[in-house]
Amino acid sequence: MAEQKSIFITGAGSGIGRATAQLFAERGWFVGLFDISATGLEETAALLPEGQRLSMVFDVRDRAGWARAVETFGQATGRRMHVLFNNAGVGKGGWLEEMTPEDIDLVLDVNLKGVINGAVAALPLLRETPGARIVNTASVAGIVGAPRLAVYVATKFGVRGLTEALDAEYSRYGVRVTSLMPWFVDTAILDNSGGGGSNRRLRDQLKENKTPIYPVRMAAERAWDAAHGSQTHYRVGKEAERAWFFARFMPSVVQSQVRRSMSDD
């Protein structure tokens, strides 16, 4: 009988993490659910078969929390981790000079340092698991910079670069590292303020500008591809593919398009 595969998911309490947990569970995987929100984890866990998942609250900024979570997961899976899905993230934005120091630190610490913490903490289990890999959630914001998202963009460009560097570094252990690069996906992040002193939700701005918003299940399907395919970066949605193309060959075009789509003017 084939060994049951396992995935460790951060940010599993909502959005892409929850949808990915459901998809992998449907396909027979054992799923580790990890999030800072106990309520979110309970809601996700209720959607999965009881014998096919475990849940644990922890903060990806906490290195000791990572150590406990990885150890708990390893005990449940016979020291196997086929995929680490470094997905936890926060989407606070606004004009840089108007962001609070606390919000700046939160975005940096969760979106970039949290991913690094995971890559370090999970490596022992990944090394023991044949064919293991890490999937890091980046973003189209890791392809082209957008106004009012400067810190978020910095973290996602960082995740993109980290992915490429670690894919090379960890190859000496037989561990692949890939990234997921979604366009705007229908998650709670879109209900945050668009920044710039406005109380309007980012979702409302996108709809007004007729900017596509893709279903979260599409992101989960691409996370599956990222866990199995031969590429390094996996875009979600046609707009993400367009951004990738234009950023490579016509960077000024995509930069001007993103500026217009995020502007209230």
Instruction: Give yes or no: 170 in active site.
Output: no
Torsion of CA 27, 28, 34, 37, to 10 degrees: 60
Cα gap 56→58, rounded to integer Å: 6
Within 8 A by CB and 6+ apart from 230, the residues are none
Cα gap 139→155, rounded to integer Å: 10
Within 8 A by CB and 6+ apart from 196, the residues are 94, 95, 98, 148, 264
Single out the catalytic residue among 152, 170, 214, 234.
152
Check if the beta carbon of residue 58 is closer than 8 Å to that of residue 32.
no
DSSP letter (8 states) at residue 90: -
Check if the beta carbon of residue 98 is closer than 8 Å to that of residue 195.
yes
Give residue 239's Cα distance to chain centre: 18
**Residues annotated catalytic, as ranges:** 152
